[in-house]
Structure 1
C-alpha cells in the first residue's frame, strides 16, 4: 500500500467517525451535500475519492475545518494508524482566537481523540463551549485560566483538569504561551 492509498483510507474512516460522533446518518449528510447516499457510503469506505469541492462541503456539513480532511500526512504504510510523527500532525481549527491545535491521534476512529493545544499569550476563547463530551487536559508548559461550569481555575505545568459536558472557557492572559495535551471523548474534530 503506498502513502497516498494509506492517506485516502484514513480520510473515509475519519469522515464516518465525524459523522457518527455528530449523530448524523448517511442520509442526513447526503441531503446536505445534494449527493446520493451510495456516493457518500463509497467515500466513507474509501471506494470513491471526493474532489476538493466535495471535501469543502463535507467539512462544512460536519462543522470542521477543511484542513482536518485535507491534511492527511504521507506516513510510511507500516506506521499508518499507529504512529504520528511530530512534523506530520494534522492542524485543526482556524487559530483565530489564538489557539493552535494539532491532532496527536493517528485518526478519528477511536472512542477519543488526543490533541496538542498551544494557547498564544494574551489570547482567550471568545464564546464559551458546551460540548457533549468528556475532556481531560494535561498542562505541559505555561499557565491557563479556565472557567468550568462557572468556577474559575488557573492551571500550570504538571496540572490536569476535567470537563464533563459543561460550559467552559479558557484564556491565557499571561506573557508566555501555554501548551496542553487534551483528550476528548467522543472525538469532535
Structure 2
C-alpha cells in the first residue's frame, strides 16, 4: 500500500533517490549493495514499489543516515505538529511484503525516546536479526509473537510486555492472526 503525500512533501522514493545522488552512489551500486535488482530499486525510487523494513534499515546503514530520514512525512495540521499525532497522519515505514509495518506514535523524534505502533502480519518473520544500541520495551495489544532475545526464546501475547537492551533480537509471527504491539525505544532509532 503506497501512501500519497501532498505535492509539497517528498515521497520515500524521492528521498532515497536524492540521498543516493547526494552520496554519489549509482543506482547499480546501491542495488548491488542491497542484493536487489536495479529494476526493483528504480521502482522504489519512483514510488512504484515499497521497500521492506530490512531494506530501509540497509539503505539507512549504507547511506549513513538515521532511519527517521526514511519515514514518510506526517500530514497533521501545523498547529498540532509536535503535540498531537492523529491516527490517519502517522509516519509509516515498511510494507506488508516483509510482514511488518511500523508507525511513529511520537509527534517527532526530539525526545529521549520514541513510541512505535507495530503490526506483524500472520506467518511473517524478521528477515535478519538486529542489534541496536537501545533499550526497548514492547507491549502486545493483540495476537501473539515469538521473540528471540540473545539466546532466549519467548512467546508473548495480548497483555504481555517485554524488554531488551542492546541485544541481538529477532521476531516471528507464525500464527494465523496479526500481532499488534506498542514499542518504546530509547534513544530514538527512527
Tell me if both proteins adopt one fold, taking TM over 0.5 as the criterion. yes
Structure 1 residue 165 displacement after superposition: 0.5
Contact 2:114–2:188 (CA<8 Å) still a contact in 1? yes
The reply to whether residue 111 of structure 1 matches residue 112 of structure 2 is: yes
> Secondary structure in 1 aligned to 2:140?
strand
Structure 1 residue 115 displacement after superposition: 0.4
CA 73–162 in structure 1, closer or farther in 2 if over 3 Å, else same? same
Cα distance in 2 for partners of 1:65, 1:93 equals 12
Alignment deviations for residues 118-162 of structure 1 (CA, whole Å, 9 cap, x no partner)? 000000112111111000000000000001111010100110000
Structure 1 residue 77 displacement after superposition: 2.3
Alignment RMSD? 2.7
Q: Which has the larger radius of gyration?
A: 1
* Aligned length, in residue pairs: 139
Structure 1 residue 67 displacement after superposition: 4.5
Contact 2:66–2:189 (CA<8 Å) still a contact in 1? no
Structure 1 residue 98 displacement after superposition: 0.7
Structure 1 residue 75 displacement after superposition: 1.7
CA 187–150 in structure 1, closer or farther in 2 if over 3 Å, else same? same
> Secondary structure in 2 aligned to 1:184?
strand
5 Å matches for 1:1-189? 33=23, 60-62=63-65, 64=67, 67-68=70-71, 71-189=72-190
Contact 1:65–1:93 (CA<8 Å) still a contact in 2? no
Uncovered stretches (5+) of structure 1, i.e. residues with no partner: 9-28, 35-51, 53-57
| TM-score, structure 1 normalization | 0.65
Contact 1:103–1:116 (CA<8 Å) still a contact in 2? yes
Uncovered stretches (5+) of structure 2, i.e. residues with no partner: 1-5, 11-18, 25-44, 46-58
Contact 2:112–2:187 (CA<8 Å) still a contact in 1? yes
Q: Aligned residue for 2:16? A: none
Structure 1 residue 64 displacement after superposition: 2.8
> Secondary structure in 1 aligned to 2:88?
helix
> Secondary structure in 2 aligned to 1:62?
coil
